[in-house]
Amino acid sequence: MNTADYDDVTKFLGEWGPFEKRIALLLCISVIPNGLSAFTIVFIADPPSHHCLIPPNANISAEWRNYSIPLEEDNGEMRYSKCTRYKLDVIKRLSDNGSVPGIDVNVTEIEHESCKDGWHYDRSIYISTIVSEWDLVCGDAWKVPMTSSMFFFGLMAGSIICGHLSDRFGRKITLFATMGVQTLF
């Protein structure tokens, strides 16, 4: 198509007037929530700093409570282990005997166990995320990227389905129907 043909077609269609600008603006505004929902996972699934929870009813001394979680190196800093703790029954027995951690007992030789009582999450940045709400850490950490993959799979399936619905019932009806469904959910 040469330039003269293009100019003839655009003259037939008309100029870019206020009506076209209004329609374009309304269409752009209607898809903003779609973009926001794609980026929501970045904030709601951010894993906060965490370590094993030592239950308050564990009945161990404050000194042993401080030594009940092993330290690991993380980016050059020593931090509490995120997924393990020292065996709580051993810690309790040593605490009951009056042993002093680091003096009477080499704490690093105590056997480790997984976090059986949940986790303690740092709430200084986020009060709650799906990670802290449903304990999606350690063995369940794979579920976080899976939610994002499922979201985008649903987006792909919805695009295919809405494309067929648009062909069958028209773009306008499909657009308003999907906007209604999106508003409800």
Domain residue limits at 110 = 50-138
Q: Is 48 left (phi over 0), alpha (psi -120 to 50) or beta?
A: beta
pTM strictly above 0.75: no
8-22 pLDDT, tens per residue? 777 777 778 888 889
Per the prediction, the chain carries an average pLDDT of 87
111-135 pLDDT, tens per residue? 999 998 999 999 999 899 999 999 9
Are 49 and 119 contacting, i.e. CB atoms less than 8 angstroms apart?
A: no
Are 119 and 50 contacting, i.e. CB atoms less than 8 angstroms apart?
A: yes
41, burial (CB in 10 Å: exposed 0-12, middle 13-18, buried 19+): middle
When computed from its CA atoms, the radius of gyration of the chain, rounded to whole angstroms, is 29
Are 85 and 115 contacting, i.e. CB atoms less than 8 angstroms apart?
A: yes
Q: How far apart are CA 119 and CA 147, in angstroms?
A: 21
68 and 105 belong to one structural domain: yes
Q: Token pair for residue 151?
A: 């979201």
103 and 180 belong to one structural domain: no
Work out how many domains the chain is built from and give that number.
2
Q: Please name the helix (run of DSSP H) or strand (run of DSSP E) that holds residue 161, with its range, or none.
A: helix 143-169
Position 178: which residue type? T
92-110 pLDDT, tens per residue? 888 888 888 878 888 888 8
54 and 133 belong to one structural domain: yes
67-93 pLDDT, tens per residue? 888 888 888 888 889 999 999 888 888
- The answer to whether residue 28 sits within a structural domain is no
